[in-house]
A = this chain, B = another copy of it.
């Protein structure tokens, strides 16, 4: 009895360890430039073992991605519980900072779009994993939308389409962060990513506010 449980636990732990190692290398080198050998070495396991836990390099990659989004979702859900205690505009700013911290830890997450775009990944992974990944993103956006709606209900924001505004905020934030991700680009612009992000968010929120 206990044996099976322990095995289960160990198996899960190993899977987590592989994901952690994979994140490390994928974020350093990108999907195409990362080899399974790289991941195996980082995880201090043999190549074959990686394939015991993940069917292909692509599935491993998307799993890393999904896990990351899950973390973000958890944070957002925790925030949701503070609905009663804070004003909606404060919550939005908190989300922004949360998102920024996430971006700093997992910048690669933003580049996955490029791979989706070219169909580089789609055909090679389990549809279930694929769907889960999309679902997570939806949940993130939904939390933002709910918060905005709350602000509207409270008379803090104008009666805009909360979902639309949430997507605007999310997209704009992503865009400015990505733009300043490149070191040289940042020097050209002459300000840190955080500053531009704050500024952009400020502009958007100001627009949403009830006059």
Contact = CB atoms under 8 A, between A and B. Distances in A.
Oligomeric state, in number of copies? Answer: 4
6 contacts: A32-B33, A111-B114, A113-B182, A134-B188, A168-B203, A172-B200
Interface stretch (A12-20, A54-62, A66-74, A116-124): A116-124
Interface string A142-168: 000000000000000000000111011
A137 interface: yes
A81 B111 CA distance: 36
A133 B120 CA distance: 26
Interface string A92-107: 0000000000000001
Main SS of chain A's interface residues? Answer: helix
A112 to B, nearest CB: 9
A118 B168 CA distance: 27
Contacts of A180: 171
A179 B111 CA distance: 11
A22 to B, nearest CB: 15
A178 interface: yes
Interface residues of A, number: 51
A111 to B, nearest CB: 4
A188 to B, nearest CB: 5
A129 interface: no
Contact of A30 (B118, B163, B199, B206): B118
